[in-house]
Amino acid sequence: MQVTLMKGRIDLASVTEADLHSEGSISIDRALLDAAGFLINERVQIYNIETGARFATYVIEAPRWSGTIDLNGAAARLAMTGDKITIVAYASFDEAEAKIFKPRVVRVDRENRIPPD
């Protein structure tokens, strides 16, 4: 049996741009991708804290330490610049893996950077 668990999450990121005329996806700062364990082209769910909108898209890389969280293409209709969103990736695990797996949770500051501990 396979179960689906949260693999990684970026909490309360601020949308830095919503570009309807760009390639559809979400651009995420490379440092945040690494911290959350997200892969390029990986499917992610986006939860807009401001509006309650929930939608899926795929990840593209933005420059490391840029703080970029850009929604592109059709996804740009579901959030505005400044909206707080949570970005989640899921993965399938067998039952034994699921019992020991620990997801990566990344909390960011207002500039979408990982604050020091």
Catalytic residue among 14, 22, 58, 90: 58
Note down the domain range covering 82.
2-104
| Residues 41-52, mean pLDDT to the nearest whole number | 98
| Domain assignment present for 85 | yes
**The model's pTM:** 0.95
Residue 75 DSSP SS3: helix
Q: Per-residue DSSP letters for 89-116?
A: EEEEEEHHHHHH---EEEE--TTS----
Catalytic residue among 22, 25, 90, 92: 25
Active site residue 47: no
pLDDT given for residue 73 in this prediction: 95
| Domain assignment present for 34 | yes
| Domain assignment present for 62 | yes
Strand ranges (DSSP E) for the chain? 2-14, 17-19, 25-29, 43-48, 54-62, 69-72, 84-94, 104-107
Per the structure, the count of domains in the chain is: 1
Residue 52 pLDDT grade (very low, low, confident, very high; cuts 50, 70, 90): very high
Active site residue 22: no
| Domain assignment present for 117 | no
